[in-house]
Chains A and B, each alone.
Chain A
Amino acid sequence: MEFKVALGPQHPALHEPISIRMTLDGEVIRDADLKLGYNHRGIEKLAESRSYIQNLYLTERICGICSFSHQTCYTQGVEKLMELVPAKRGLYIRTLVCELERVHSHLLWLGVAGQEAGFESFFMYTWRDREVVMDILDWISGNRVHYSMNTFGGVRRDIDELQKKKILDSLGLLRQRTDYYLNLAASEPTFVGRLAGVGKLSREKAIALCAVGPTLRASGVPMDVRKDDPYAVYDEIPFEVSTADSCDVLGRAVVRVKELIQSYNIIEFLLKNLPAGPVKVKAPRKVKENEVYSRYEAPRGENVHYIKSNGSDKPERLKVRAPTLANYPATIEMLKSGFIADIPLIFAAIDPCICCAERLVQLDNARSGESNILTFSQLRAMANERDKKINFKKKEIAWPF
């Protein structure tokens, strides 16, 4: 006997609106189908009517967690269109913010994974430590979420010796805590028992379904844009691509903790080798007719912007593909033959960012406008109208009490 069950779009287990329709055989999921489109804002269409500088701040607002990923991906694409060579110090600071963002995003994910696995204190610990990174970001950029650090040709703010010292001091604390988490995640039997074997995604399937980021790397594929197609100053930085072979949620957790440790090394390298000089160069306002395909390794995986320019100060086309969208086909594969109780865990394991993945169209019924909005008195009038049409046979209904 098979049942069809709908989960979402609004559900306490999901943090953002998405609808999953499942075919169940008892407790086991046989098939799953995703329905997207509950979080649309029309950013791609909007970007065509804004200038390049305005789009800098629009692309930042595609996501609330990996805001810097989208902005950097867009910025370096436009820099290539402008044939602009950014200032070296600016690129170092940009890479620094990239890695700080990765640290805060992975710590956030670890907490969410702990919470979904029923390990609430882990959630409290990692989110407490995430505040350390958030404070650093706040201190060097002035903002906790949308850093607005990028501009064409470099970054908008410089960092001084005191800030450098504070970041290096905080790194010691973070390293110590991350080692503890790695130890905890690997040796705590209940936590390992909950994550191991859940959400299996074989290497072949992961490649065929074009998965990206930690989801792909946990299936044993060492694909990382920072190594494959180095942007900013990643070609000068020594680091390793973290992978795992277990193909399950535990593997995805291990990959992210390993990446945290790599990120700390990268941040330390950047601060110790920070070159002197200006943080930005002057950028032209108009852009020649050309096109660029910009790739960026966001905390969730490969982020892609395709930008086509037409010679004016506005882009002809901006196409955004966020990592979560690329991971959806793989998520359906992971859900199949899993249990209902594993859904939040499997779904959290791709680190979904639904507002990133859906950014395309206008709001529902935006064209019909006011007809959607009813005042209370209109509603009452409608209800009265409806009541009049219904033929109540009052005498035939006997009230039992």
Chain B
Amino acid sequence: MNPETIVEKISSDIKDKVQEVSLAAPRRVQVKVAREHLNVVLAYLKKQFGYVHLGTISGVDLGDHFEVIYHMSDAVATVNVRILTPRSDPRIPSVCAVIPGAILYERELQDMFGLVVENIPDPRPLLLADDWPAGEYPLRKDWVFDRPAEVIPGGK
């Protein structure tokens, strides 16, 4: 098994489910899928190649879209499965049924980007403070932090 065979197998076995598949860098396979096929592709990777270790889920704000990347690693290569979700309808499917260890990363995405993870087993906020205002998502590009002027208690 080597990264080239993974690319070949993916592009022959499930070519109707994936939009793009390539070997972007040594040991890094890039796969682009539609969000409704995400779970099918991850289940295929798990069954066919034994991909069970999810490194993390990275969210990127691209303006009118959010890009969500699932980094699956094993001893051969890392497969980066990416989906796009429009800003007006930021829904993504939960992958916890296939990869139970994804739960904290999905909760982090909900907090930081305001994505709606459908069928998530535990939708509570993870990292933000209890009194964090609703509708503010810090890692979105349009969220800017203006540091309040420092006030020294008891100072002039």
Interface residues of chain A, those whose CB is within 8 Å of chain B, are 36-37, 40, 42, 44-45, 80, 207-211, 223, 227-229, 292-293, 295, 302, 304, 306, 308, 316-317, 319, 321, 325-326, 328-330, 358, 360-362, 364-370, 373-376
Contacts and interface: CB of A to CB of B under 8 A. Distances in A.
Given A293-B80, A317-B58, A375-B153, A228 B74 contact: yes
B108 A360 contact: yes
Given A42-B138, A364-B131, A304 B100 contact: no
Contacts of B55: 210, 293, 295, 302, 304, 321
Interface string B73-111: 111001010000000000000000001111111001001
A360 B151 contact: no
Contacts of A321: 55-56, 105
Contact of B53 (A42, A223, A369): A223
Given A329-B103, A370-B148, A80 B53 contact: no
Given A229-B78, A360-B138, A367-B148, 5 more contacts: A227-B75, A228-B75, A358-B127, A361-B111, A361-B128
14 contacts: A42-B138, A80-B25, A208-B99, A210-B55, A319-B56, A360-B112, A361-B127, A366-B145, A366-B148, A369-B148, A370-B148, A370-B149, A373-B151, A375-B154
B145 A362 contact: yes
Contacts of A370: 148-149, 151
Nearest to A369: B148
B126 interface: yes
Contacts of B138: 42, 45, 360-362
B69 interface: yes
A294 to B, nearest CB: 10
Contacts, number: 117
A360 B127 contact: yes
B94 to A, nearest CB: 14
Contacts of B80: 293
B148 A325 contact: no
Contacts of B101: 208-211, 326, 329-330
B58 A306 contact: yes
4 nearest A-B pairs in the assembled complex, by CB-CB distance: A369-B148, A210-B101, A321-B56, A370-B151
Nearest to A374: B153
A327 to B, nearest CB: 10
A208 B100 CA distance: 6
Interface string B104-134: 1100100110000000000000111101110
Nearest to A322: B56
B52 interface: yes
B147 interface: yes
A326 B151 CA distance: 38
A204 B154 CA distance: 58
Nearest to A359: B127
B98 to A, nearest CB: 10
B126 A229 contact: no
B75 A223 contact: yes
B145 A328 contact: no
Give the interface centre of B105, B129, B147 by most chain A CB atoms within 10 Å: B129
B17 interface: no
B45 interface: no
A45 B58 contact: no
Given A208-B52, A373-B153, A292 B131 contact: no
A45 B142 CA distance: 12
B127 A37 contact: yes
Contacts of A45: 138-139, 145
B54 interface: yes
A326 B108 CA distance: 12
B73 A228 contact: yes
Contacts of A328: 104
Contacts of B59: 319
B32 interface: no
B102 A295 contact: no
A293 B61 CA distance: 17
